[in-house]
Structure 1
Amino acid sequence: MSESNESSKNLGRRPEGVSDDTVEAVGKVSEALEYVDRARGHLYSFHQLMGRADLLLGDACDLLRDAGHGEVADRLATEMVGRNVLYGRWTFQIVEDFDDNYWSVFREHEHRVRDELQHGVRHVFEAEMKERRRTKGQPGHEGRP
């Protein structure tokens, strides 16, 4: 049995008969999903930032009107306040489309890969890396909580 198989037995993560190559490949699929999750977070940040910017621009238009600059305020309000950020879409529609047609589909695939190849066990690759890299007996390097 390889060293990584032996160390994972101590952690009880790697299912019996799962090869090092499979653990590495499944780990890459999971890592890719983690990057998609991060991208999704940035997309939600974009959604919130654009929404806040639109509200602030609306407030600015009100202030411009109050300051006697109605023509400028009207131009901004008409052309920019509430404007689509992509053709026909506000950011909530972009977020919904991403969630429904990419993120949720990828999550299902990642779960299926883990279920089929690692009996549903998550983070086998990382658990084995932890076991290899930690200093046994050293405070802060415990194998388990």
Structure 2
Amino acid sequence: MSDDREKMSADHRRPNGSDDATVSAVGSVSEALEWVERARGHLYTFHQLMGHADLQFGSAADELRDAGHGDAADALEREVIGRNVIEGRWTFQMVEDFDDGYWTTAREHERRIRDDLMDGRRHVFEAEMKEDRRTHGERGHEATP
């Protein structure tokens, strides 16, 4: 490890005895979790979009009824408004199942692996990449805040 790496925050410095392959592998686990987090965000977006759409269908049914199209409004209310998005579930149930299942399990494993192999330190791989790529001594390229 170079003298410059000694300037890295202890929170991001690889633990003694950790080899490059381990740092890379743990970084890959963390990156996979980042993708899960992104997917979770999209799931919440889907949840909110579908909720908004259901409310919009409700408003549209009211407008259809006011315009004299009661049969169309009734059909919309009966067949679309309040309908399960997937069998037996509204989107809030999908979100809850995802959060309680896959997301929680993935986070627990990522944390355990980090704790076991990196002494709980986050982003060791990225911190080393920063150290390798920054221009030492240049403003905006400091090792730490």
TM-score by length of 2: 0.94
For residue 113 of structure 2, what is the amino acid of its counterpart? V
Match of 1:9 in 2: 6
Structure showing greater relative contact order (alpha-carbon pairs closer than 8 Å, 6 or more residues apart)? 2
Partners of 1:10 and 1:20 in 2: CA distance: 19
Partners of 1:120 and 1:66 in 2: CA distance: 61
For residue 31 of structure 2, what is the amino acid of its counterpart? E
**Aligned-CA RMSD value:** 0.9
Where does 1:1-145 land on structure 2 (aligned, <5 Å)? 5-6=1-2, 7-11=4-8, 12=10, 13-145=13-145
CA contact (8 A) 2:7 2:143 kept: no
Instruction: Give runs of ≥4 in structure 1 deviating > 6 Å.
Output: none
Partners of 2:84 and 2:61 in 1: CA distance: 18
Partners of 1:73 and 1:133 in 2: CA distance: 61
5+ residue gaps, structure 2, are none
TM-score by length of 1: 0.94
5+ residue gaps, structure 1, are none
Partners of 1:8 and 1:25 in 2: CA distance: 20
For residue 17 of structure 1, what is the amino acid of its counterpart? G
For residue 9 of structure 1, what is the amino acid of its counterpart? E
CA contact (8 A) 1:8 1:14 kept: no
For residue 98 of structure 1, what is the amino acid of its counterpart? F
